[in-house]
Amino acid sequence: MKSIGEKLKQRRIELGYSIEDLHEKTKLSEVHIKAIEDGDLDYFRHDISYLKFFLQYYCQAVYLDYEDFEEEFKKTLDVYHETQLLKKKESHQASNENIQRRIQNNQKKYHKAKGQTNIQFSKLDHQTLIVIGIVLVILAVLVFGFFKLILPNLSSEPVDNNQPPAQVQEPDINDEPTPDPDIVVERPKVEEGLTITEESYDKYRIFGIEKNEMVFRIDFTNDTWVETYINDKAVNDPLTGTYVADEFIEIPITETTDKITILFGNLDGSSISVNGEPVELNQQAILGTSVTLNFFFGKE
């Protein structure tokens, strides 16, 4: 990976591009670009499956063919995965050895404590055991006498036979049930005036209501890497990274929000909506393995 990174960096320098220039062309963060040029695979350990798309973006920006690097990249990934597996096995083995040591130490402590307990009990003489037995018998007799003789007398109460019988009130046949008040069912408010138009396969305009009344939402059905830009500036909310199925992100639109740009590693199956109104995406965008979509907000 270091060899690929050095070649890409040399090409960038030959074209006179700075890291900031490449950030503007690829929409990759400057930290991502520097990690690619340094061949730092550990930086991408959580997004390793999307590193291929990052390299494709970089190659396109400096006018190189990704296929020239693909074979070397695959070999590098194989070595990296094997190394990670070995590290996991070593960590697992060390963990098992640590557990075995703890079990052995606990067993030693248990046998030692058990031996001390046996010694203490052996010190009790027969007279002490007899006294304890007599005390237990006396306590048992006292408890039995309390529940058998005393408790029933405490709980019983005299019955007053002169108490008049309870009167049962007959229902008045003239009484009519009071009708329940009308039940008002609140129905969900239907969004009116919201308009979503497609200007191109990667460009959509949303208008018709005030911007501060809009909520932009993405629902994921597959593992998808996402990076978000608001007004052409990278943001940390939502975080850049991989989102799994059944997760979603929501972005409240403010008066200063004019544009949202989303970089998708894999859009297939995910859906986008504004205030619950789905955005009908172009098939060219849906079928692409990686795609950048732009959404513009404001009244037409």
Residue range 175-227, pLDDT digits in tens: 555 545 454 444 334 456 788 999 898 899 998 888 888 899 999 888 888 89
Q: What is the pTM of this model?
A: 0.42
pLDDT surpasses 90 at 161:
no
Distance separating alpha carbons of residues 104 and 240, to the nearest angstrom: 46
Query: Are the C-beta atoms of residues 17 and 62 closer than 8 Å to each other?
Result: yes
Alpha helices of the chain — where are they, by DSSP H?
2-14, 19-26, 30-38, 51-61, 67-122, 126-145, 151-155, 283-287
H/E segment holding residue 155: helix 151-155
48: DSSP letter: G
**pLDDT of the residue at 126:** 76
**Residue 108 predicted with pLDDT over 90:** no
Q: How many CB atoms lie within 10 A of CB 193?
A: 10
Residues above pLDDT 90, as percent of the chain? 29
Q: What CA–CA distances, in Å, run from 148 to 27, 142, 152, 153, 156?
A: 87, 10, 7, 10, 13
Pairing of strands 203-207, 291-297: parallel
Instruction: Identify the CA nearest to 5 among candidates 43, 125, 153, 218.
Output: 43
pLDDT digits (tens, 9 = 90+) for 242-290: 898 899 999 999 989 999 999 888 777 789 999 999 998 888 777 766 7
Contact assessment for residue 219 and residue 263, using Cβ atoms and an 8 Å cutoff? no
Residue 173 confidence (pLDDT): 47
Least trusted range by pLDDT, from 67-76, 146-155, 172-181, 238-247: 172-181
> Residue 234 pLDDT more than 50?
yes
- Mean pLDDT score across all residues of the chain: 82
Q: What pLDDT score does 232 carry?
A: 92
